[in-house]
Each structure stands twice: as structure tokens, then as C-alpha cells.
């Protein structure tokens, strides 16, 4: 929803949350679906038996609906939770040797991806 459609009261609440709670700006993370589709497709196209891991069923279903390429037999979309039932929440995953993008003080997708990759790598080595 565009900022201009929020009521003054809602804008006030959101401003407080941005400044004092999570540090995310109203438009942070807004990537047009077409761009997300292109970036993800480019990452897996041409790969045989590529596996894309996501955390959570909702993300998996969203990703499946996003692109025909990702629904091909060459690409498998799995939730990391299914394979690794004991995986901690993103907040509790080890953040050692990870970093944030510099724009997000508390909830950074880049940091979350690095945490998940680090945890997944540990699972693979067992």
C-alpha cells in the first residue's frame, strides 16, 4: 500500500515503528515481482536439478506461483524446515561472520540469508 493512502494516524504509528522498533522503512524490501522473478530465474536457469531452499511453506508457495521456470522438473523448491526440523528461528540462528546490508538495523534479509546458508552448510557437513 502506498504511504499516501495511509491515514495520518497510521502514518504516525508506522513512523514510530520505523524509528524505534524494527528500523525498516515503509518501502524497504519492495521488489517488483517481475524483477524478483527475473533474478531468481537467472540464478537457477541452466542448472540441472537445482534446489532452491526457503524457510516456510508460504514462501515456497509464493515462489512456485511466481514463475514457470521454477515449476519445471529441473528446479526443486523445498522448505528448509522439512529437512531440518530442529532449525531455530531466524532470530536465534548464529550471526557470527554474517553482516547486514547497512540499511536495516534489526531485520535484514541479507543477514537472514547468510544465517540460513551457514546453518545449512553445517547440516550438510554432518
In terms of pTM, does the model score above 0.95? Answer: no
DSSP 3-state of 54: strand
Distance between CA atoms of residues 11 and 14, nearest Å:
5
Compute CA distances 86 → 52, 77, 114, whole Å: 19, 19, 18
- What's the average model confidence in pLDDT over 115-119? 84
The pLDDT tens digits of the residues spanning 15-69 come to 887 777 767 676 666 667 777 778 777 888 777 777 787 878 888 888 887 766 6
Amino acid at each position: 500500500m502506498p504511504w499516501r493512502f495511509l491515514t495520518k494516524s497510521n502514518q504516525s504509528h508506522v513512523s514510530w515503528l520505523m524509528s524505534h522498533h524494527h528500523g525498516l522503512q515503509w518501502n524497504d524490501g519492495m521488489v517488483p515481482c517481475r524483477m524478483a522473478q527475473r533474478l531468481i530465474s537467472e540464478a537457477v536457469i541452466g542448472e540441472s536439478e537445482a534446489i532452491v531452499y526457503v524457510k516456510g511453506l508460504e514462501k515456497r508457495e509464493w515462489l512456485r506461483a511466481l514463475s514457470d521456470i521454477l515449476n519445471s522438473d529441473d528446479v526443486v523448491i523445498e522448505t528448509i524446515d522439512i529437512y531440518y526440523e530442529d532449525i531455530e528461528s531466524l532470530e536465534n540462528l548464529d550471526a557470527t561472520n554474517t553482516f547486514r546490508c547497512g540499511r536495516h538495523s534489526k531485520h535484514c534479509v541479507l543477514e537472514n540469508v547468510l544465517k540460513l546458508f551457514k546453518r545449512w552448510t553445517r547440516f550438510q557437513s554432518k
